[in-house]
Amino acid sequence: METPPPTTPRTGPTDADVEAFRQQLGRPPRGLRAIAHRCPCGQPDVVETAPRLPDGTPFPTLYYLTCPRANSAIGTLEANGVMKEMTERLAEDPELAAAYRAAHEDYLRRRDEIEELKGFPSAGGMPDRVKCLHVLVAHALAAGPGVNPLGDEALAMLPQWWRKGACVTVPDACEKNAGHAKNAGHAKNAAHEEHAE
């Protein structure tokens, strides 16, 4: 992908977001805390979930990728052996391994700020292997570029899944949510132009 989707502000979920999530995954959300990233189409594509589900069950996956198109594209990467190749590189490249460990620490810190889950790993295989690209891409989208190196790499391998429009249609939500994504893109472009001067 030439340009990854812009970082978007973390927001509380609206009723329309909850409905979009339900349509995307075919079930109602559990433990939903926030929209961690919005697709350029305006719909949520990463949600932040509570470290414990409403029934008290530990749920260590803080960031959950919801867009079915992005999930499908990542599934193709996984089927093509990308996780194995990344895990092998971690064993051979100390710099990459250190950056990936820092991503692991970032993930744990963000989760522990909500509620500490003693004895539970981060997610996606961090810090020593790659077990789930969906988690790494979700972390990369939620945290922004430069935090999760392998999440950033996997994201760069993906097609622009939003080009065909929203993956789900929620009445009265698409225009409003698209405004969030568009404003984030304008802010990013303005910051980039200011930095370039």
Residue range 38-81, pLDDT digits in tens: 999 899 999 999 999 999 999 999 999 999 999 999 999 999 99
Q: What stretches of the chain show up as alpha helix (H) in DSSP?
A: 15-25, 68-79, 82-92, 94-114, 133-143, 149-157, 174-196
Question: Is residue 147 pLDDT above 90, yes or no?
Answer: yes
- Please tell me the pTM assigned to this model: 0.84
Are 98 and 128 in contact by the 8 Å Cβ rule? The answer is no
Query: CA-CA distance, 101 to 90, in Å (whole number)?
Result: 10
Q: Name the residue among 141, 139, 145, 117 with its Cα closest to residue 126.
A: 139
Query: CA-CA distance, 64 to 36, in Å (whole number)?
Result: 9
pLDDT score recorded for residue 81 = 98
Per-residue pLDDT tens over the stretch 95-134 = 999 999 999 999 999 999 999 988 888 889 999 999 999 9
pLDDT score recorded for residue 197 = 33
Please report which confidence band the pLDDT of residue 192 belongs to, taking 50, 70 and 90 as the band edges: very low
Are 180 and 42 in contact by the 8 Å Cβ rule? The answer is yes
Looking up tokens 């790659």 gives 130
pLDDT score recorded for residue 52 = 93
